[in-house]
Amino acid sequence: MTEPHEVGAALRASLPHALLDTLRDHLTTTYGATSVRLFLTDYGGTVLNPLDSPGYGERSLPIGGSAEGRALGSQERREQQAPRGEAIDHHLPVTVRGDRIGVLTVRLPADRSAPVVLDELRQVAGQLGHEILVAERDTDVYQRARRVSRLTVAAEMQWQLLPARACSAAQYAVGAQLEPAYAVHGDNFDWASDADELTLTVTNGMGQGVEASLLTHLAVSALRNARRAGISLADQAALADQAVWDHYRGASHVSTLLVRVELATGRTEIVDAGSPQMWRLRGKSVERIDLDRQLPLGMFEESHYAAESLVLEPGDRLLFVSDGVYEAPSPRGGQYAERALARALHATRLLPAAMVPGALLRDVAEYRDAETLDDALVLCCDWFGNDLR
């Protein structure tokens, strides 16, 4: 029987757009698979789109209410009896470092569905996820399959600027989501980690459409440039502030929250430069972290920034939200932060960090009594510390 590393070698040698065809050939020959399908999560995080779908939105599967969606949510293999005969569909989550890319569905004869085979298929699904991320540099096939409708130009710019929608390590798990997914404007999130620290950034740029995306693109690029220079968090904010000022001369600015967590200790530095808010769920207690609110990036020339400190405890859940979330109004009166945010944090406390942003944004939409949201962003970070999960 072919070892998973041989399938991995074949995927690495495949043409970027042909990963599924290559995998299908190998699984058919090696395991007797009669069907191999790949479903990718859409930008809104609500449906799974088949890679081989001929058009937008055709035969999409809901993440809530389908066997494939349950595999994605639980991050565990799910079995389902095939419609005809005795074959079994095995739904395997395709996930890379916490980023839930989609689900691989492999149909096998019942007598070929041995535990050793299923364990090998799980490894193959992981290899496929890594190869998709590499292949996306050279083909549009996978990004095209993630869409149920056309993105606006502003949304295209924003999604290309973003990291993955989730990531995880031994000490933490992070997930984030933007809404409306297909027409986002100035909200953005970013993160980076190394052996010593995790850096999180939440931005909220002025304006709408392409102009807002251009402003955010400049600010995020400047922040990344400063971060990669290895300078302090306060200096990162100052350099990005100068970059925005140099271009816009104060006519536009970007509200930003910068967070850096020391992985060994949980010691956290924060620079609050504007409107994004930070909330913490610790045990049964939900509180907004009150910070020294400083000037948004680019508002004035040569602004100076100072970092504040706090220490995370294992089990803490941090939530970062833009004003489109905490200021969301209800037809019955009151803003979301005042009436519903704490309740929603309690209600979603058992969900993994990757699933919290979508659940919270759906709750905000229900609170607003609207099908779609204004520009809104949620980032969730679970801190495990060095304790075992």
Question: pLDDT-based confidence at 30, cuts 50/70/90?
Answer: very high
Length of the chain: 389
pLDDT on residue 61: 94
Predicted confidence at residue 328, as pLDDT, reads 93
Question: Could you report the per-residue pLDDT of 107-164, keeping only the tens digit for each?
Answer: 999 999 999 999 999 999 999 999 999 999 999 999 999 999 999 999 999 999 999 9
Tell me which of 84 and 63 has the higher pLDDT. 63
The pLDDT of residue 387 is 61
Which residues, 6+ apart, have CB-to-CB distance to 80 below 8 Å?
67, 88, 89, 91
**Proportion of the chain above pLDDT 90, given as a percent:** 86
| Segment among 8-17, 50-59, 73-82 with least mean pLDDT | 50-59
Question: What pTM did the predictor assign?
Answer: 0.93
How are beta strands 61-62 and 47-50 bridged, if at all? antiparallel
Q: Give 361's pLDDT tier (boundaries 50, 70, 90).
A: very high
Average pLDDT in the 245-272 region? 97
pLDDT at 351 exceeding the cut of 60: yes
pLDDT at 36: 96
pLDDT at residue number 388: 45
DSSP state letter for 329: B
Q: Flag whether pLDDT at 57 surpasses 50.
A: no
Angle at alpha carbon of residue 156, lines to 152 and 162, rounded to 5° = 140
For the residues 17-35, what does the mean pLDDT come to?
A: 95
What average pLDDT does the chain have? 93
CB 272 within 8 A of CB 283: no
Whole-angstrom distance, CA of residue 10 vs CA of residue 19 = 9
Q: Residue 241: its pLDDT value, please?
A: 98
Give me the sign of the Cα torsion angle 388, 94, 193, 315.
Answer: negative
- Calculate Rg over the CA atoms of the chain: 22
Q: What pLDDT score was predicted for residue 3?
A: 63
Tell me: pLDDT of 239 over 70. Answer: yes
Q: Is the pLDDT of residue 383 over 50?
A: yes
The more confidently predicted of residues 223 and 58 is: 223
- 267-281 pLDDT tens trace: 999 999 998 999 999
pLDDT tens for 302-345 read 999 999 999 999 999 999 999 999 999 998 889 999 989 999 99
Give the DSSP letter string of 168-179: E-SSEEEEEEEE
Of 65 and 15, the one with more pLDDT: 15
- CB crowding 222-258: b at 16 or more within 10 Å, else e: bbbebbeeeeebbbbbbbbbbbbbeebeeebbbbbbb
